[in-house]
Amino acid sequence: MIRFEDVAKQYQDDTYAVKLLNLEIKKGEFFVLIGPSGSGKTTTLKMINRLIPLTDGTIYIEDKRISDYEINELRWNIGYVLQQIALFPHMTIEENIAIVPELKKWDRDKVKNRVTELLEMVGLDPEIYRKRKPKELSGGEQQRIGVVRALAADPEIILMDEPFSALDPITREKLQDDILALQRTINKTIVFVTHDMKEALKLGDRICVMKNGRVEQIGTPEQLLNQP
């Protein structure tokens, strides 16, 4: 599904944030990138949707080079969830969720039904929440909207950069459970960045441990736990 071949990223100041990365992420896999701050996780994630250009190597999605995609084609088909809740404050929840479907020119009814379905999926009553503004929601509710917004136009791939780390422990656990249940129902490929090993072990089908821009270890939670 997503394949990194000898991928490297060097920023202007000569530091290699990512060095010769070779990875294969399978379709439908929950793939976790973990490692200390500065190990290259976010750089790796953002290269997948070309928010950051590669210095070297190639990333393929379904055998097509990402550089051959139109930026919009790529971005609209890859959901992206950030740690910092990035809902537009002046827009209602419905308008926030509908951004990509509207860019894709879905018709009104289809968008409306999709918003209803997504709010129900994360346990928020559509009749109450649809017309609210982000500031009328709790942090955990806003983050839930951030997650379903990324799913709105039914992308095959969802990238998540520490989406739950700003939340209190109870809300975080609840959202982890939600995302696991969601992943099992929709069977999407998820690439999830965290620095929390407990979270990685709970969520990941496979975990990739990064250090200094390289892969230090990779495997299923069982394999990682049974390695010295």
The binding site for ligand ADP (CB under 6 A) comprises 11, 13, 15, 17, 35, 37-43, 83, 161
Considering beta carbons, is residue 43 or 49 the nearer one to ligand ADP?
43
Considering beta carbons, is residue 38 or 57 the nearer one to ligand ADP?
38
Rounded to whole angstroms, the Cα distance separating 15 from 19 reads: 10
Cα distance from N-terminal residue to C-terminal residue, the chain = 30
Q: Tell me the closest approach of the beta carbon of residue 187 to ligand ADP, in angstroms.
A: 27
Q: Tell me the closest approach of the beta carbon of residue 159 to ligand ADP, in angstroms.
A: 11
Q: Tell me the closest approach of the beta carbon of residue 39 to ligand ADP, in angstroms.
A: 4
Nearest Cα neighbor of 172 from 138, 134, 205, 129 is: 138
Q: Tell me the closest approach of the beta carbon of residue 8 to ligand ADP, in angstroms.
A: 12
Q: 118 CB contacts (<8 Å, ≥6 apart)?
A: 97, 148, 151, 152
Q: Tell me the closest approach of the beta carbon of residue 109 to ligand ADP, in angstroms.
A: 37
Considering beta carbons, is residue 17 or 215 the nearer one to ligand ADP?
17
Considering beta carbons, is residue 130 or 211 the nearer one to ligand ADP?
211
Considering beta carbons, is residue 9 or 114 the nearer one to ligand ADP?
9
For Cα atoms 183, 113, 131, give the angle at the middle one, nearest 5 degrees: 100
Angle between helices 139-151 and 169-186 (to 10 degrees): 20
Nearest Cα neighbor of 175 from 135, 204, 146 is: 146
